[in-house]
Amino acid sequence: MAKRKVIVTIAPTGGMAFKSQNPNLPTQPGEIAEDVYRCYNAGASVVALHARRPDDQATCDASIYREMNRLIRDRCDIVLNNSTGGGVHGDMVKETTPGTWEILWEERLKGMDAGAEMCTLDATTLNLAFGDREYLMNTPLSKARELAAGMKARGIKPEWEVFSPTHIIQDATTLIDEGLDDGPPFINLVMNVHRNFQNAMPFSPRHLQMMVDLLPGNAVFCVSGIGPSQLEANISALLLGGHARVGLEDNLYYRHGELATNVQLTERIVRIIRELDMEPATPAEAREIMGLPRTDGPRPEFAA
């Protein structure tokens, strides 16, 4: 009997943390590409990318994404997934009232224009709190529809990011039912960020089971367990038939008090997958599971 293939997504950077929090965090295209290649060799088949400016601040600048995508593709055939969420600093935000900031819609749109196979699609409106700042990520259904339609027109598969049951049964499912995602939807359940993201779900196996039960019938899913829940959430996802996501975007630590590297986190989840008598998927197998075109022929170009 063939072993079940598991997609391992590596999320190396994110749009929030800085090197001051973990010096192993890669932020520039060259170091991200090298880190991703090491994670690919360790068993990752998808990379969820965030771009950073030269000063390490967040951006969705398509030219930076294109450079990063090209450098990664020169090294390996991992599935490229560019963020349209961006981050909470840099180009991505502006202050609207003292202490209140908004994540800029026009900047988020730029993440689609760098030639990636996939892009994250946060069909969500969120209020975020970090330090003494509050941020609004305003994505009404009309804007989520614009993102989904833009991805479809560009041949990009969305990775639906959801933080609560309502995001599944209202936003993502509505747009999927409208035909804005070809093939099985790939849905990332983001959990345990509830201390900073209003209306987000804490992680527990029971909460995860509830979220999984609400997914469209043909959905493929993984879980972003934020912070100390990363390992437990991934194991729970595997037991429920889902896939794995690890990386410093979601968790800066390997264990309590010990800073992690992306390769360490990848190697650990791959060991667990194999101990469960499963096998990490290759990029070609991941594309097949998610309904992506295969790229066995000429490599994609990341031209402007």
In a domain, 303, yes or no: no
Query: Does residue 304 lie within any of the structural domains?
Result: no
Host domain of residue 247: 5-290
Does residue 297 fall inside a structural domain? no
pLDDT tens, the chain, 304 aa long: 789 999 999 999 999 999 999 999 999 999 999 999 999 999 999 999 999 999 999 999 999 999 999 999 999 999 999 999 999 999 999 999 998 999 999 999 999 999 999 999 998 999 999 888 999 999 999 999 999 999 999 999 999 999 999 999 999 999 999 999 988 999 999 999 999 999 899 999 999 999 999 999 999 999 999 999 999 999 999 999 999 999 999 999 999 999 999 999 999 999 999 999 999 999 999 999 999 974 444 445 665 5
Of 119, 116, 141, 137, residue with least CA distance to 128: 137
Predicted local distance difference test score (pLDDT) of residue 297: 42
Residue 260, domain CATH: 3.20.20.70
The total number of structural domains in the chain stands at 1
The dihedral of CA 107, 253, 277, 212: what is its sign? negative
**Rounded to two decimals, what is the model's pTM?**
0.95
Of the candidates 108, 110, 134, the one whose C-alpha atom is nearest the C-alpha of residue 122 is 108
Q: Would 208 be classed as within a structural domain?
A: yes
**Considering the domain boundaries, does residue 298 fall inside one?**
no
* Residue 149 located in a structural domain: yes
